[in-house]
Structure 1
Amino acid sequence: MNNLISVALSQYGVKEVIGTKDHPQILNYFTSLGFDAAKFKDETAWCSAFANWVAKKAGYEHSNKLTARSWLTVGASTSAPELGDVVVLWREDPTSWKGHVGFLIKETKRYVYLLGGNQGNSVSIKAYPKNRVLDYRKLRKDG
């Protein structure tokens, strides 16, 4: 199995804690990148923090940024995406700065299925309409 997917699946089900407490593993996604956990809650948008944690742990290049669209400059664009490739989606509007990032599980004619963080407030697999895809990115091994 793809190493990125193996690492991401090891986190499957990690979920935000409702209320004032925070899930320690979600905070770890931020701190492992050098961010101060005290500045974040598990309700903070964390899809890119999760993708960075996975890529770093699996030994791949990563954006080291907390915005989903930062992944548009990592790796190489591909028109033939495969299991484990990064998928960057737009949110609200294609020209907005907002987005979402996750790892490709599969695609159908109309949907991409992503394994990602902050999907339904947890690490999960979710379907997104293909018309929201900004790019598919193939990551390179780090170093």
Structure 2
Amino acid sequence: MAQYTVQPGDNPSKIAKSFGMTLGQFQKLNPGLVEWGSGNWKVLFPGQIVNVSGVVTGLPPETVATAPTSFAAPPPWMQIAIMEVGVQEWTNGDNPRILEYLRSCGISGNLLHDETAWCAAFVNWCVLRAGYQPKGSAKVSDWWSWGRPVAATYGAICILQPLTTDQASSGHIGFLHALDATNVWLLSGNSKNQVRISAYPKNKLIHNAPYRWAF
């Protein structure tokens, strides 16, 4: 058994094929990469170390020796989102930053003000700024099938059901920051009218693939 450093563009199938392994063999060598119960693969990050069969060639010895044993670079949209913490609605007038989030979803006219629900617009803006193609919608329910499903992973887009009995509410959406026994901690917009990190009960997660990834 050898170790391989994940490169940009790698995925489990690609790595397994490169080393003449089946996906099942790769999973057996890296059981921690698959979420128990759901069978979903966790996202691989450039720089992460995984186990492979055979011999890894082409890397200088010092690179292998000093490589970290575990590494998960924050996804680029998460790095952008965390810089927005503290952005909030204005009591008088509209915060131009929130209007920028909304414009990324094509919102204009009478709906372009910071009291329009903007949690999905914030996610859209962050994904777009990171160089990926977002859903382009400020409606949470439009994101339910966007991207691909993944296990609970730092930076995954997390979708919640409506948090009130108001049927007009479409739920809440944000980026997964942490988990505890009963809550998901999301970095999200329009949380108490601002961008912040806050807890939401796990029982509010949508039932089918609540965690989504941009690629």
Match of 1:89 among 160, 166, 174: 160
Query: What's the counterpart of residue 17 of structure 1?
Result: 90
**Alignment RMSD:** 1.7
Larger radius of gyration: 2
Tell me how far 1:41 sits from its aligned partner: 1.4
- The verdict on how the C-alpha distance between 1:28 and 1:96 changes in structure 2, with shifts beyond 3 A counting, is closer
Aligned with 1:49: secondary structure? helix
Moved more, 60-69 or 122-131: 60-69
Query: What's the counterpart of residue 177 of structure 2?
Result: 105
The answer to whether the aligner puts 1:68 opposite 2:140 as a matched pair is: yes
Query: What's the counterpart of residue 5 of structure 1?
Result: 78
Question: Are the aligned partners of 2:104 and 2:136 in contact in 1 as well (CA < 8 Å)?
Answer: no
The answer to whether the aligner puts 1:137 opposite 2:212 as a matched pair is: yes
Question: How far apart, in 1, do the equivalents of 2:84 and 2:141 lie?
Answer: 22
> Partner amino acid for 1:82?
T
Question: How far apart, in 2, do the equivalents of 1:33 and 1:98 lie?
Answer: 16
Aligned with 2:144: secondary structure? helix
Q: Deviations over 1:27-75 (max 9, x none)?
A: 0111233322553211111001100000111122311111112111111
Match of 2:112 among 19, 26, 40: 40
Moved more, 116-125 or 34-43: 34-43
Question: How far apart, in 1, do the equivalents of 2:98 and 2:119 lie?
Answer: 10
TM-score (norm: length of structure 2): 0.60
TM-score (norm: length of structure 1): 0.88
Question: How far apart, in 2, do the equivalents of 1:77 and 1:137 lie?
Answer: 5
Aligned with 1:73: secondary structure? coil
Question: Are the aligned partners of 2:105 and 2:138 in contact in 1 as well (CA < 8 Å)?
Answer: no
User: Quick check: which one's strand share is greater?
Assistant: 1
The answer to whether the aligner puts 1:122 opposite 2:197 as a matched pair is: no
Report the identity percentage. 36
Question: How far apart, in 1, do the equivalents of 2:105 and 2:147 lie?
Answer: 18
Tell me how far 1:108 sits from its aligned partner: 1.2
Question: How far apart, in 2, do the equivalents of 1:37 and 1:104 lie?
Answer: 32
User: Which 5+ residue runs of structure 1 have no aligned equivalent?
Assistant: none
